[in-house]
Amino acid sequence: MKITIQREPFLKAFQLAATVAPSRSPKAILQNVKIECTDSACVLTATDMEVGIRVVVGDVTIETAGSAVIPVTRLSMILRESRDETLNIDATPDKTIIKGKGSKFELQAHNPDEFPDVSDFEAKDYYELPSNVLRELIKRTLFATDAESSRYALGGVKLEMDGEKLVAIGTDGRRLAVQHGKIETVGTPTDTGTSTIVPSRSMQLIDRILPDSDDKVQISPQSNELLVRSPDGIFFTRLVEGRYPKWRDVIPKRDDGHKIEIAVGPMYQSLRQAAIVSSDESRGVDFTFADGSLVLSNTTAEVGESRIEMPVPYDGESMTITLDHRYVADFLKVLAPDKTFTFDIKDGEQAAYCSTEDEYGYVIMPLSKDRR
């Protein structure tokens, strides 16, 4: 293989592929990125056997087609430290030579045939949606998952597709986030039922390969894997095995609750002030609604007290619910500060439900007084 690359575009594509390659692995070859060049395209692939990525690189002059396997760390350093606009890469069975105007590096060769295959997106039947919609679904649900849970299914985002909507769900057992987004169907995609649970780390990586635009991306769910194709690359991940909670049963369906419209920005600011006196052992903040106001208060024996008041459209009887301030903050951080949300509360014992007009819902379980 003999190619000439434009350093900066190649570095950007290489860094994207390198996010998948493990820094340590019993299989040393996985700590590399494979470069495959045909007469018409140059593709970078990386995998840790659970996830994989294929990135097409532009601005590459291909003199001789072929492939090479190059260590992630070494090539990353060469690409970053070089100041040349172009670099020549010449790979033989014995070594890989990288040349600039005044530089030359020889790296140990690896057999490209030993590098595991990474699935390509060959599906004719799939779902399609704008990239920024999928990124919003990830942003609004990923934070609620629990990668440390012994219940493996909680360490992923559940996806449900019905041909018209994609529903993303994340939960750690103490809170639950649900976001709906519109999708289109191409052909007849595989019906995976309720088994499409994508690992949290995979969701983070998918978010990185998605452009922040309305460019279309394609999703192809299979029985034990998911493929995502974006303008910048193709991502493969194995799915989480396990039973997911019946999330629809968790969302409050009540007509006797109090629904209060609250501004995101002022609420987040007040919450941050109330949480100043919190500690690792005392994370509960009291949310007291009464007489047209919301009072956020917190008391920590070893720190002190806080009391923050803000106006809200509530004129019912006084009621208080104690919530983990971190869980409330996580919800507010993924919303635009100039927007509003609906805070649905019945009493201090039942779950609070926060929702927005764009079909985003968030359930937070209250804390008991002895767990504050």
Q: What is the pLDDT of residues 196-231, one digit of tens each?
A: 999 999 999 999 889 889 999 999 998 889 999 998
Q: Give the pLDDT score at 96.
A: 95
> Above pLDDT 90, what percent of the chain?
81
Query: Is it the case that residue 112 has pLDDT exceeding 80?
Result: yes
SS3 label, residue 134: helix
More confident residue, 168 or 254: 168
What structural domains does the chain harbor?
2-114 (3.10.150.10), 126-247 (3.10.150.10), 251-371 (3.10.150.10)
Which residues are registered as beta bridge partners of 175? 364
For residue 194, name the pLDDT band (cuts at 50, 70, 90). low
> Above pLDDT 70, what percent of the chain?
98
Query: Is it the case that residue 38 has pLDDT exceeding 60?
Result: yes
- Of the chain, the end-to-end C-alpha distance in Å amounts to 63
Buried b (16+ CB within 10 A) or exposed e, 122-134: ebeebbebbbbbb
Q: Give the pLDDT score at 193.
A: 61
Which residues are registered as beta bridge partners of 168? 159, 179
DSSP state of 201: H
Query: Is it the case that residue 372 has pLDDT exceeding 60?
Result: no
Interhelix angle 200-209/131-141, rounded to 10 degrees, is: 150
User: Considering the chain, what is the average pLDDT of its residues?
Assistant: 92
Structure tokens at 93: 């069975």
Q: What is the pLDDT of residues 70-101, one digit of tens each?
A: 999 999 999 999 999 999 999 998 899 999 99
More confident residue, 246 or 195: 246
